[in-house]
């Protein structure tokens, strides 16, 4: 077992699709009338390879969507770097940012909210093809048709002319996926893409995403509350709590050998995980995200807490190849 710095969480090689290093996002808030900041993303580092799914798991408010928005350059990081295919894109602007946004697509949680209710399916998919790939006329129509077919929206001619309210949740999510694919992205952020869908159609959407990943060698950041789907879909899992990475490991290793007390708590609450049983005694207090807070954000709820947990950031400990945990006690 060896201890390593935060930066070493990022095992840099030239082949990485995405490399995020010590990312910090902060937002201003009013605290008793005084201006203060919260840090929902606090020194977060990770990498994603082409063709790889990194599942980001954490409870509500832990900073998952803020990481996604920083990656898409919708929110500005306070510090840290985002590299994609070796390019430092953290501060890209203008034309380079437009090209970057084309390569990094997003599928959202609410497929109804992400589609325009007064536009047809055809319009949703044709628009990015016109804007980014300059397709028109017959070529455009054919490409829309082949994308609809690829995501399983058949018969194609019937689907083209439908409006979002005429589709089921799963079909709407397929439109959103076809729209994301239309611009030939390298990397897809899927922020809870199945959590608003009926249980019976969730597996079909994950199966489609997985086929597309393999066909186009796409990298995914797959965001979820749910460890069971993270295990099913992710090659690796990163567990986030209070804006900080608690543990990262290959999925099978994280499930078999969960090491952070928070990961163990999450697994205990996941039926069928093998660790489920009586839940440990713990408080329900939400972590403080306030800037300047010291120590581990999980300290207030941790059954193994020691003095150091409240005072100092935990060291990142490497337990085995690709398995790292941020904890004073482990
Ligand atoms: N633009 C903003 N301004 C101020 N605070 C924000 C902003 N966006 C997010 N936050 C806060 O940052 C924290 C993290 O939010 P985020 O949406 O990233 O969480 P999440 O892990 O995606 O949660 P959920 O699972 O509910 O989607 C929350 O406390 C949220 O209120
Ligand atoms: Mg979210």
Q: Whose CA is nearest to atom 17 of ligand 1?
A: 65
Kindly state if the Cβ of 66 falls inside 6 Å of ligand 1: yes
Q: Whose CA is nearest to atom 24 of ligand 1?
A: 60
Kindly state if the Cβ of 173 falls inside 6 Å of ligand 1: no
CB 124 within 8 A of CB 132: no
Superfamily (CATH) of domain 2-6+16-85+189-203+211-326: P-loop containing nucleotide triphosphate hydrolases (3.40.50.300)
Kindly state if the Cβ of 37 falls inside 6 Å of ligand 1: no
Nearest atom in ligand 1 to the alpha carbon of residue 243 is: 14
Kindly state if the Cβ of 61 falls inside 6 Å of ligand 1: yes
The pTM (predicted TM-score) of the whole model is 0.92
Q: CA nearest 240: which of 65, 96, 120?
A: 65
Nearest atom in ligand 1 to the alpha carbon of residue 58 is: 21
Ramachandran sector of residue 291 (left: φ over 0; alpha: ψ -120 to 50; beta: rest): beta
Q: Indicate the angle between helix axes 137-150 and 121-133, nearest 10 degrees.
A: 120
Ligand with an atom nearest the CA of residue 62: 1
Q: Which residue of 26, 36, 64, 109 sits with most ligand 1 atoms within 8 Å of its CB, as the best mutation to test the pocket?
A: 64
Ligand 2 center to 67 CA (angstroms): 9
Kindly state if the Cβ of 40 falls inside 6 Å of ligand 1: yes
Cα dist from 257 to 229, 233, 272, 302, 308, whole Å: 18, 18, 15, 18, 24
Q: Is 249 helix (H, G, I), strand (E, B) or coil?
A: strand
Kindly state if the Cβ of 63 falls inside 6 Å of ligand 1: yes
Ligand with an atom nearest the CA of residue 242: 1
Ligand 1 center to 75 CA (angstroms): 12
Q: Which residue of 38, 44, 56, 61 sits with most ligand 1 atoms within 8 Å of its CB, as the best mutation to test the pocket?
A: 61
Kindly state if the Cβ of 251 falls inside 6 Å of ligand 1: no
Place of tokens 């390593």: 4
pLDDT in tens, the chain (330 residues): 334 433 333 334 456 999 999 999 999 998 888 899 999 999 999 999 999 999 999 999 999 999 999 999 999 999 999 999 999 999 999 999 998 988 899 999 988 888 999 999 999 999 999 999 999 999 999 999 999 999 999 999 999 999 999 999 999 999 999 999 999 999 999 999 999 999 889 999 999 999 999 999 999 999 999 999 999 999 999 999 999 999 999 999 999 999 999 999 999 888 776 666 666 666 677 888 999 889 999 999 999 999 999 999 999 999 999 999 999 998
């Amino acid at each position: 077992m060896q201890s390593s710095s935060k930066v070493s969480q990022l095992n840099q090689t030239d082949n990485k699709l995405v490399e995020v290093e010590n990312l910090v996002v902060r937002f201003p808030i009013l605290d008793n009338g005084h201006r203060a900041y919260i840090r929902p993303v606090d020194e977060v580092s990770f990498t994603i390879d082409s063709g790889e799914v990194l599942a980001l798991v954490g409870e509500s408010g832990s900073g998952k969507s803020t990481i996604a928005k920083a990656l898409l350059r919708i929110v500005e990081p306070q510090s840290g770097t985002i590299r994609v295919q070796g390019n430092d894109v953290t501060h890209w602007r203008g034309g380079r940012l437009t090209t970057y946004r084309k390569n990094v697509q997003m599928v959202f949680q609410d497929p109804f909210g992400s589609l325009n209710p007064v536009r047809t399916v055809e319009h949703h998919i044709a628009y990015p093809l016109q804007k980014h790939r300059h397709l028109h006329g017959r070529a455009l129509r054919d490409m829309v048709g082949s994308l609809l077919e690829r995501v399983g929206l058949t018969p194609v001619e019937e689907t083209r002319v439908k409006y979002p309210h005429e589709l089921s949740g799963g079909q709407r999510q397929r439109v959103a996926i076809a729209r994301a694919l239309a611009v030939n992205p390298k990397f897809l952020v899927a922020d809870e893409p199945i959590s608003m869908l009926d249980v019976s159609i969730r597996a079909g959407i994950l199966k489609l995403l997985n086929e597309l990943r393999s066909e186009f060698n796409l990298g995914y950041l797959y965001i979820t509350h749910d460890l069971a789907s993270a295990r099913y879909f992710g090659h690796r899992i990163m567990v986030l709590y209070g804006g900080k990475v608690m543990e990262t490991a290959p999925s099978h290793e994280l499930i078999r050998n969960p090491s952070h007390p928070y990961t163990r708590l999450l697994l205990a609450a996941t039926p069928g995980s093998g660790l489920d049983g009586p839940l440990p005694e713990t408080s329900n207090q939400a972590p403080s995200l306030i800037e300047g807070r010291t120590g581990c954000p999980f300290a207030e709820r941790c059954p193994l807490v020691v003095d150091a947990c409240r005072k100092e950031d935990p060291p990142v400990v490497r337990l085995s190849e690709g398995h790292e945990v941020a904890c004073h006690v482990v």
